[in-house]
Structure 1
Amino acid sequence: MEHFVVSARKYRPQTFKDVVGQQAITNTLLNAIEHNHLAQALLFTGPRGVGKTTCARILAKKINQEESQDPNEDFAFNIFELDAASNNSVDDIRNLIDQVRIPPQVGKYKVYIIDEVHMLSQAAFNAFLKTLEEPPKHAIFILATTEKHKIIPTILSRCQIFDFKRITVQDAKEYLAYIAQQEGVSAEDDALHIIAQKADGAMRDALSIYDRVVSFSGKELTRQAVTENLNVLDYDTYLTATDLILQNDIPQLLLQYNEILSLGFDGHHFIAGLASHFRNLLVCQNPKTINLLEVGDNTKAQYYEQAQKASAQFLLKGIELANECDLQYKSSRNQRLLVELCLMQLASVTFGGEKKNDNSFIIPPSHFSQPPVPTPAMKLSPKEKEVITSNEYGKGASAPPQEAQLPQKGSATSENCAPETAVKEPEPDISSPSPEAEKEPASSPTSEVTQTSGPSAETENRITKKKVSGLSLKSIQKKKELEAQKREAQKEQVIEKNGEFTEKEMQEAWQEFAAQQIEKGEKILASIMQTDTPVLKGKDICIELPNETMKLELERVQYYLMGFLKDKLQNTHIQLKVKVNEKAEKKFAFTPIEKFQKLQEKNPLLEKLRATFDLDI
């Protein structure tokens, strides 16, 4: 079996031109070598897998090369790599200092690469200070670390610092495509893009993921194989979920989320990805920001197509709801319910007022108005029939016996008789005819018979109302119609109010409402209202509050407040404008170093005290 070399080692860059995504640093180092401006102590810092150690090796090789020598010479005898994670004591640094004194036998420089230098102990750092500040002419130190903040300032001040940035998704994808071409692997653009995104800016991680996926799928690298092997949610999942949200299809949306959970995905990961998906759709809506979308060309077309279906208002509300769910996920005890509630809210954002009451979502009242099929269990006793018959008689008809009209309390008749219970409910206003009565022709034979014979119209109306239960859908619908008519009448009365008032009258009404809140026990709300004096600008009542919390508390009672003011001032065109004072100071959490600097400004002798005793902050 042939020995396998991982791609991270096999394709490690050998020159500065091969380094991916660090052009600014490589150009600086090349110019420094060319103009003989290279410092003797360099610090390479940045996240993992971005090329710090690789650039250190290339630099050590480059400064020892001469034009007459073999360009493939690696000068291994002049390059010393020290792992500070395992050699972090004072004795290890002393051995290094002893080696530095010996000049190189081949080449001009001896290069010491100290990896993970932040792992050195405090004593080791202090022992290294003098040599790092004044090294021999033939010695160059290259320190590499992922955590620059753990290195003491005296070391940082003696080094020339190079900050390595994360590899962009585009650069990582192009380099993976180059490696796939060299290896004879057919790879889809979206598949490489997912690998580059999963690497999170680390080229070494991208190459490791690439090796794993190639081992899984062979020479054909597809997006489906990558998502299956990496256990990630691809774009199709979020595109389908968004389509269901825009269609307000809550049942299918919940079924899709259940399928995602059954595949082993975390609900937190899904809702965070959905927020990012909404952000990508929002980016697609403006041609100026479409370049911020880091996806393949095929996926970008799908994003653009879906972005045309969604409004910017919906996407902003969706991002807000998804982010709120993301923040509450860890602290929630029922995490699945939290995500499902968020999905239902998202699917309800685009509901209109008419669609909410659409018949496709509500069981129609006619479904319950059909007469039930008689069964043996529904047969009534003779005594119950007498009670029902007595309820159908009008005032002018002969009444049945008294015992049948008023059954004893606790008997089966009083408990099971639905019409007797229906008599107790309040009767609606009979002045306005029902929609069914309006539709019925006036000259129908039934109406003529009703007018000439039988009970009176008032009695018939009372009997009809007795037959409708207080909890039936017809009665609820009738009450809603009456309430809607009442609100419309009030609205017409309110619109006519357009009285003039002064700013002083408005402020007096404002204070009167605040006084009422104090009487009700709402002292916090009253205090918020008295924080600032409202100002009248045209028809707008403007008030400034010091923070967002007070604004939200005042907006919570805005409906009742404005109703009181409109009624008091006899004007319905006034509006409330609440503004947060932007001049309020923001409080930040200071680090120990920042605290020391603040104290040093007040007492400069603190720095002398720290330097005298070599104190650490």
Structure 2
Amino acid sequence: MSEPDTAPRQYQVLARKYRPASFSDLIGQEAMVRTLSNAFATNRIAHAFILTGVRGVGKTTTARIVAKGLNCTGADGQGGPTIAPCGQCEACVSIAEGRHVDVLEMDAASRTGVGDIREIIDSVRYRATSARYKVYIIDEVHMLSTSAFNALLKTLEEPPEHVKFLFATTEIRKVPVTVLSRCQRFDLRRIEPEVMIAHLAGIAGKEGVEIEEAALAMIARAAEGSVRDALSLLDQAIAHGQGRVDATQVRAMLGLADRGRVMDLFDMVMRGDAAGALQELSAQYAEGADPVSVLRDLAEVTHWVSLVKITPEAAEDPTVSPAERDRGRAMAADLSLRGLTRMWQMCLKALEEVSTAPSPMMAAEMAIIRMTHVSELPTPGDLVRKLQDAPPLPQAHAPQASAPGAGPRARQAAPPRATHAPAVPGGAAVAQPAPVAASATYPDFDAVVDLIRARRDMRLLVEVENHLRLVHYAPGRIEFQPTGDAPSDLAARLSRQLQAWTDMRWGVSVVSDGGGETIAETRAARRTDMVGQAMRHPMMQAVLASFPGVTDAHVSVHEPVQADPGATQAPIEDPAEEFGEDWDPLDAFD
């Protein structure tokens, strides 16, 4: 007499136990199911399909269901291709168990070479042994080599009538377009949170497990639209909770902080309560929350509140409790979009720092301190409004020029740039500047500098501005004292160029002393004076107080533009009205 089998049954994880066996079991893929249903009903079944989507949304499962539908014979053995396979015939059972001889599954991640594809090409010519169609399911098809893809192209374009190809991939962009054009493509979507929560609740009921809705919401949020990930987390939560699962247990299992407490932390940070925020962070850390998870949740709350501020309908998130929704709406109403976007950027920076810091908790604490400090800074609009009534500083007098032509220029219009085009071999013509008439006058040295600039001789212009100290100027006559590092041939080249441009003789001579400042030195002195005035302005004093690292090297000054005497412009009463609420004068320091 044989002894009874007392060996414990091997446990089957939920992701396999509740794997969809028909299209009616698939969730969240209504568009694909409708298309395939119509194709089967009208006998317009493509010879090749490619299924793409993120992990765990049902790509390989769908391929197996299609294979069963193609080969199902029904319970009576007389059925044809169907969108609802019976699951009882020999074909359905053997395909579900992965042992059907005519349905071949290949993992392209481990069989990437052209030799593996040649095996398929050699076998497609033979008809199916017992099934209606010979079906090839290639998972992670994007992992195939380029030569393997090329070897498959001809067969994929004109396969025998008894052959069907089903490809699955998470990286559709890595699949050659020559393959995509030969396949009917289906994009499987991420599962919506409310659909996922309902699905998990149904499976928990079948397993006889009592689980809180908040715990299901946490699992759905952590799964990010992947059914397989959600079922794996649910499996883990059931084992963790021993038959009853609540939100506290799931939170501890996932290493998450209480979302309500994360919102408390967010509120403290945005109010500038550094001490309270650090205390709350330490309390969450002491209870087992990972600093990276806390900052990630903080970024998630920032993102969600920002969406609620722009689109109030975003508050109706099924993974968020009603109390949290009301709180999120209140935060969105009180906070500015500029403050929220700044908080988002700082959260991203903090996550990067925490992941590389020797002590994640220390890095998280420093990030919280930085966030609370920034939240106390006044908005640019408030700063400008406070400083508008400040009395302006008296205008400092511009430094007196120590050399002729160094003061404000009496600018003369640059000579016209008429051109003539002498013929060159081959019939082409090259445009050349025409000489300026000899009657053109140059009353001061500034007009000569303007002429050099107009002729675009940048080398000569730089040398004149940086190495020429003017001693005496008269039309047709220049005397200057060169700087110590001036080119030795500056006088000769300047004379030669001016004569060529003006068609008149120029005498340019060098003297040993008597020169004033160069044009570059005069310009630098004027800039220093303008920067000094800017740094003494009340607005700049406020900027320096808020940003101690700002120096005069960060200040950009420009020459004042002479306004049209006949034009008028109304003063800007409110910069926010003129430039918008998000206008920020500190953007100049980015």
1:579-594 residue pairs with structure 2 within 5 A? none
Per-residue deviation, 1:123: 2.1
1:111-190 residue pairs with structure 2 within 5 A? 111-190=135-214
- 1-side partners of 2:109 and 2:587: how far apart? 54
User: Which residue of structure 1 lines up, in the alignment, with residue 42 of structure 2?
Assistant: 35
Deviation readout 1:534-576 (Å, 9 max, x if unpaired): 996422399x99xx999646589xxxxxxxxxxxxxxxxxxxx
- 1-side partners of 2:562 and 2:210: how far apart? 68
Q: Are 2:368 and 1:343 equivalent residues in the alignment? A: yes
- 1-side partners of 2:292 and 2:559: how far apart? 40
User: Which residue of structure 2 lines up, in the alignment, with residue 51 of structure 1?
Assistant: 58
1:538-553 residue pairs with structure 2 within 5 A? 538-540=570-572, 552=586
- 1-side partners of 2:360 and 2:210: how far apart? 41
Q: Is the contact made by 2:136 and 2:164 (CA closer than 8 Å) also made in structure 1?
A: yes
Per-residue deviation, 1:270: 2.0
User: Which residue of structure 2 lines up, in the alignment, with residue 7 of structure 1?
Assistant: 14
1:220 pairs, out of 240, 244, 266, with 244
AA aligned to 2:68 is: K
- 2-side partners of 1:340 and 1:137: how far apart? 66
Structure 1's 204 and 529: CA in aligned 2 closer, same or farther, altered over 3 A?
Answer: farther
- Paired-residue identity, %: 33
Q: Are 2:71 and 1:64 equivalent residues in the alignment? A: yes
Name the SS for the 1:63 alignment partner: helix
User: Which residue of structure 2 lines up, in the alignment, with residue 388 of structure 1?
Assistant: none
Name the SS for the 1:102 alignment partner: coil
2:228 pairs, out of 201, 204, 207, with 204
User: Which residue of structure 2 lines up, in the alignment, with residue 86 of structure 1?
Assistant: 110
AA aligned to 2:260 is: D
Name the SS for the 2:135 alignment partner: strand
User: Which residue of structure 2 lines up, in the alignment, with residue 313 of structure 1?
Assistant: 335
Structure 1's 527 and 313: CA in aligned 2 closer, same or farther, altered over 3 A?
Answer: same
Structure 1's 320 and 286: CA in aligned 2 closer, same or farther, altered over 3 A?
Answer: closer
Deviation readout 1:124-146 (Å, 9 max, x if unpaired): 22221111111000100011111
1:254-269 residue pairs with structure 2 within 5 A? 254-263=278-287, 265-269=289-293
Q: Is the contact made by 2:53 and 2:188 (CA closer than 8 Å) also made in structure 1?
A: yes
User: Which residue of structure 2 lines up, in the alignment, with residue 273 of structure 1?
Assistant: 297
Name the SS for the 1:12 alignment partner: coil
- 1-side partners of 2:561 and 2:60: how far apart? 60
AA aligned to 1:539 is: P
How large is the RMSD of aligned CA atoms in angstroms? Answer: 4.1
Q: Is the contact made by 1:517 and 1:526 (CA closer than 8 Å) also made in structure 2?
A: no
User: Which residue of structure 2 lines up, in the alignment, with residue 21 of structure 1?
Assistant: 28
Structure 1's 83 and 322: CA in aligned 2 closer, same or farther, altered over 3 A?
Answer: closer
Q: Is the contact made by 1:41 and 1:140 (CA closer than 8 Å) also made in structure 2?
A: yes
Q: Is the contact made by 2:196 and 2:227 (CA closer than 8 Å) also made in structure 1?
A: yes
- 2-side partners of 1:524 and 1:278: how far apart? 31
AA aligned to 1:189 is: E
Structure 1's 96 and 351: CA in aligned 2 closer, same or farther, altered over 3 A?
Answer: closer
Per-residue deviation, 1:113: 0.5
- 2-side partners of 1:536 and 1:188: how far apart? 69
Q: Is the contact made by 1:22 and 1:164 (CA closer than 8 Å) also made in structure 2?
A: yes
2:132 pairs, out of 100, 105, 108, with 108
AA aligned to 1:133 is: E
Name the SS for the 1:308 alignment partner: helix
Name the SS for the 1:2 alignment partner: coil
Structure 1's 533 and 140: CA in aligned 2 closer, same or farther, altered over 3 A?
Answer: farther
Per-residue deviation, 1:4: 0.6
1:327 pairs, out of 337, 349, 363, with 349
- 2-side partners of 1:205 and 1:536: how far apart? 67
Q: Is the contact made by 2:52 and 2:172 (CA closer than 8 Å) also made in structure 1?
A: yes
Q: Is the contact made by 1:271 and 1:322 (CA closer than 8 Å) also made in structure 2?
A: no
User: Which gives a bigger RCO, structure 1 or 2 (Cα 8 Å, sep 6+)?
Assistant: 2
- 2-side partners of 1:553 and 1:533: how far apart? 26
User: Which residue of structure 2 lines up, in the alignment, with residue 564 of structure 1?
Assistant: none
Greater Cα offset, 240-249 or 125-134: 240-249
1:133-532 residue pairs with structure 2 within 5 A? 133-245=157-269, 249-263=273-287, 265-283=289-307, 288-291=312-315, 293-296=317-320, 299-305=321-327, 307-308=329-330, 311-314=333-336, 316-327=338-349, 329-331=351-353, 339-340=364-365, 342-344=367-369, 516-519=526-529, 525-526=555-556
Structure 2 stretches of 5 or more lacking a match?
A: 1-7, 80-85, 379-385, 393-408, 410-522, 532-551
- 2-side partners of 1:351 and 1:45: how far apart? 47
Name the SS for the 2:166 alignment partner: strand
Structure 1's 337 and 83: CA in aligned 2 closer, same or farther, altered over 3 A?
Answer: closer
Structure 1's 533 and 22: CA in aligned 2 closer, same or farther, altered over 3 A?
Answer: farther
Q: Is the contact made by 1:279 and 1:315 (CA closer than 8 Å) also made in structure 2?
A: no
Per-residue deviation, 1:313: 2.7
AA aligned to 2:29 is: Q
Structure 1's 44 and 227: CA in aligned 2 closer, same or farther, altered over 3 A?
Answer: same
Deviation readout 1:265-285 (Å, 9 max, x if unpaired): 443432332132234345556
Q: Is the contact made by 1:268 and 1:326 (CA closer than 8 Å) also made in structure 2?
A: no
- 2-side partners of 1:97 and 1:129: how far apart? 10
AA aligned to 1:56 is: A
Structure 1's 144 and 533: CA in aligned 2 closer, same or farther, altered over 3 A?
Answer: farther
Per-residue deviation, 1:518: 4.9
Name the SS for the 2:54 alignment partner: coil
Name the SS for the 2:106 alignment partner: strand
- 2-side partners of 1:258 and 1:197: how far apart? 25
Per-residue deviation, 1:86: 2.2
Per-residue deviation, 1:215: 0.6
User: Which residue of structure 2 lines up, in the alignment, with residue 608 of structure 1?
Assistant: none
Name the count of aligned residue pairs.
401
Q: Is the contact made by 1:50 and 1:166 (CA closer than 8 Å) also made in structure 2?
A: yes
| TM-score, with structure 2 as normaliser | 0.59
Greater fraction helix? 1
